[in-house]
């Protein structure tokens, strides 16, 4: 067995789509698992779309995910002459032939066939030209395309995911290899470049499956070894349709901007169409590399579930050092506070926020919305919670708390807790009977981190003011 060489061959489109990133990741994991090589090929023959920026976006997305490549990337557009040579060699060895048919004739024949409700395939008119005819046309300077002479028989391959796929060759048209303008088609470029890059395994999206028999015939006609194929299932949106812009963010860099961590994205993408065979979900890079293999790729489409991605992100956030969490929260919070003309917290307070929310954030983007309670007194109180938590005796309880808190000399977590516990005891109440109305008064809602930690961060003045505001409101 030759050493594994896999590739990622994106066509620059202006973004690195999660589907592309997942393809890159699977190839990369396979290379690292087998101690093989992972190479890049930029399929940039469409010059309009392949701007330097569009190429850079691919590099940036891969680098963000820590997917590194082992050799200098190959730019497909720079291999034009090799692609032409590949077609010339096929002409030379009789696997291809010149087609002088006028494009208009072909279009008309195709339309006529469609009208009759039939599929069109090229009737091989030019396959039957003899040497002298061909020479005469060449001498007369007639333009021609080059077509692949599809041999008889059946083309089979054993896909690592889909199993055995057989295609009768009669279903494959003598497709064009070289256009009349002298440019080779994509199918030629991809086979020539995969052979040139020594690719042994082609792991790519299922949408390429129908290209594979044609490519295999090209490998065979060119005397090249056929790689192993693995066509991975498409990524679907929640409606089970192919994931697209309609479903929201699809580019990995958008997720980065939204505060998703690279580690979480990578871990999540790895589980889209692959599983380690046990119930592990949060897996380190080393674990992923050790477990990844082609035999655990799934056949069925993988639904991209943002909630799951955010859950995964939360798992990773909770393992980060506090200062890193704060570094990630800060830009989002700064933006939100600046928009509202609220002064920014100092770094020490920031670290306290990070500590308090370390296990409560699913993405950094949601941090401002969660943290806003520390910067603004509640302007309204969540209605459902009001109905549920503010009862007849709540004003009395809040007033008692207010009094006790005013007298409290040391404003720290344990003192606050003791205070509340002893008041609850005195009133003969469960402590939650005091905590819920208090939380509502302080935060305007039903959910927050531990109330004593919140109170420490809010500070004494703020807590007393908010209780006062709430009492006014309850009236």
Just list the catalytic residues: 245
Which positions from 73 to 92 touch ligand GLU by CB under 6 A, shown as an x/- string?
A: --------------------
The CB-of-288 to ligand GLU minimum distance in angstroms stands at 22
In terms of Cα–Cα distance, which of 181, 172, 171, 104 is closest to 144? 181
Expressed in percent and rounded to 5, the helix, strand and coil fractions of the chain are: 55, 10, 35
Which of 40, 416 has the CB closer to ligand GLU?
40
Contact window for ligand GLU (CB under 6 A) among 3-11, 300-308, 388-396, 435-443: 3-11
40 vs 302 by CB, closer to ligand GLU: 40
- Nearest-approach distance from CB 190 to ligand GLU, in angstroms: 5
Site for ligand GLU contains 9 (CB under 6 A): yes
Instruction: Tell me how far, at minimum, the Cβ of 212 lies from ligand GLU, in Å.
Output: 9
| Residue with the two structure tokens 């090229």 | 122
Span interacting with ligand GLU, options 7-15, 116-124, 388-396, 418-426, rule CB under 6 A: 7-15
Choices 9-17, 57-65, 294-302, 447-455; region in contact with ligand GLU by CB under 6 A: 9-17
Q: Exposed (0-12), middle (13-18) or buried (19+): which is 102, by Cβ within 10 Å?
A: exposed
Nearer to ligand GLU, 55 or 435 (CB): 55
Tell me if 370 sits within 8 A of 333, measured CB to CB. no
Strands 145-148 and 176-178: antiparallel
Q: Is 43 in the site for ligand GLU (CB under 6 A)?
A: yes
Helix (H) or strand (E) holding 154: strand 154-159
Identity of the residue, 4 or 438, whose beta carbon is nearer to ligand GLU in the bound complex: 4
Count of residues engaged in binding ligand GLU, rule: CB under 6 A = 7
Q: Which of 4, 1, 29, 14 is nearest to 232 (CA)?
A: 29
Residue 445: CB minimum distance to ligand GLU, A: 46
Nearer to ligand GLU, 43 or 306 (CB): 43
Distance CA 258, CA 271 (A): 21
**CB distance 336 to 372 below 8 Å:** yes
**Nearest approach, Cβ of residue 169 and ligand GLU (Å):** 21
Strand partners, 242: 236
CA distance linking residue 314 with residue 473, whole number of Å: 36
Q: Kind and range of the H or E element at 204?
A: strand 201-205
Nearer to ligand GLU, 40 or 190 (CB): 190
Site for ligand GLU in 185-214 (CB under 6 A): 190, 204, 208
Q: How far apart are CA 213 and CA 169, in angstroms?
A: 9
User: Hey, which residues does 230 pair with through a beta bridge?
Assistant: 203
Residue 167 binds ligand GLU (CB under 6 A): no
CB nearer ligand GLU, residue 44 or residue 174: 44
* C-beta separation of 458 from 451 below 8 A: no
Instruction: Classify 59 as helix, strand or coil.
Output: helix
Two structure tokens written together for 371:
């943290």
Shortest Cβ 38–ligand GLU spacing (Å): 13
Q: Is 265 in the site for ligand GLU (CB under 6 A)?
A: no
Closer residue to ligand GLU, CB minimum distance, 202 or 354: 202
Edge to edge, the sheet with strand 96-99 lists 96-99, 145-148, 176-178
- The footprint of ligand GLU on residues 10-39 (CB under 6 A) is 10-11
Interface with ligand GLU, residue 271, by CB under 6 A: no
Query: Minimal distance in Å, beta carbon 9 to ligand GLU?
Result: 4
Among 356, 455, 450, residue whose Cα is nearest residue 402: 455
Closest distance between ligand GLU and the C-beta of residue 8, in Å?
8
203-241 burial: b if 16+ Cβ within 10 Å, else e: bbbbebbeebbbbbbbeebbeeebbbbbbbbbbbbeeee
Residues that bind ligand GLU (CB under 6 A): 9-11, 43, 190, 204, 208
């Amino acid at each position: 067995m030759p050493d594994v060489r896999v590739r990622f061959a994106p066509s620059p489109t202006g973004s690195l789509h999660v589907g592309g990133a997942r393809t890159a990741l699977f190839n990369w994991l396979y290379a690292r698992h087998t101690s093989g090589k992972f190479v890049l090929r930029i399929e940039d023959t469409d010059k309009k779309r392949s701007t330097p920026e569009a190429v850079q976006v691919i590099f940036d997305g891969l680098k963000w995910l820590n997917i590194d490549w082992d050799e200098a990337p190959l730019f497909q557009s720079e291999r034009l002459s090799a692609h032409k040579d590949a077609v010339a060699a096929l002409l030379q060895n009789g696997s291809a032939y010149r087609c002088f048919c006028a494009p208009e004739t072909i279009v008309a024949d195709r339309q006529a066939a469609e009208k009759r409700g039939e599929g069109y395939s090229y009737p091989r008119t030019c396959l039957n030209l003899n040497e002298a005819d061909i020479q005469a046309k060449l001498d007369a300077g007639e333009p021609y395309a080059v077509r692949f002479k599809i041999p008889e028989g059946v083309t089979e391959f054993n896909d690592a995911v889909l199993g055995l796929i057989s295609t009768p060759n009669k279903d494959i048209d003598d497709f064009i290899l070289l256009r009349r303008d002298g440019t080779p088609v994509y199918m030629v470029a991809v086979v020539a470049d995969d052979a040139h890059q020594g690719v042994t395994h082609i792991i790519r999206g299922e949408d390429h499956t129908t290209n594979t028999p044609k490519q295999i015939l090209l490998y065979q006609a060119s005397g090249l070894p056929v790689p192993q194929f693995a066509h991975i299932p498409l990524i679907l949106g929640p409606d089970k349709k192919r994931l697209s812009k309609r479903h929201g963010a699809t580019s990995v860099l958008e997720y980065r901007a939204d505060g998703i961590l690279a580690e979480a994205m990578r871990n999540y993408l790895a589980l889209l169409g692959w599983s380690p065979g046990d119930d592990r979900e949060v897996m380190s890079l080393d674990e992923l590399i050790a477990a990844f293999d082609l035999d655990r790729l799934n056949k069925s489409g993988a639904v991209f579930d943002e909630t799951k991605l955010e859950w995964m992100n939360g798992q990773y956030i909770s393992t980060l050092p506090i200062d890193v969490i704060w570094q990630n929260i800060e830009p989002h919070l700064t933006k939100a506070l600046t928009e509202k003309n609220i002064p920014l917290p100092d770094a020490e307070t920031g670290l306290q926020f990070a500590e308090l929310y370390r296990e409560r954030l699913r993405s950094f983007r949601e941090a401002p919305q969660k943290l806003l309670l520390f910067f603004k007194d509640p302007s309204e109180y969540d209605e459902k919670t009001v109905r549920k938590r503010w009862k007849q005796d709540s004003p009395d309880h809040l007033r008692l708390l207010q009094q006790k808190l005013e007298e409290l000399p040391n404003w720290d977590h344990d003192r606050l807790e003791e205070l509340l516990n002893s008041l609850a005891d005195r009133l003969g109440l469960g402590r939650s009977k005091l905590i819920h109305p208090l939380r509502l008064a302080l935060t305007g809602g039903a959910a927050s981190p531990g109330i004593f930690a919140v109170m420490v961060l809010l500070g004494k003045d703020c807590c007393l003011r908010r209780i006062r505001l709430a009492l006014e409101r309850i009236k």
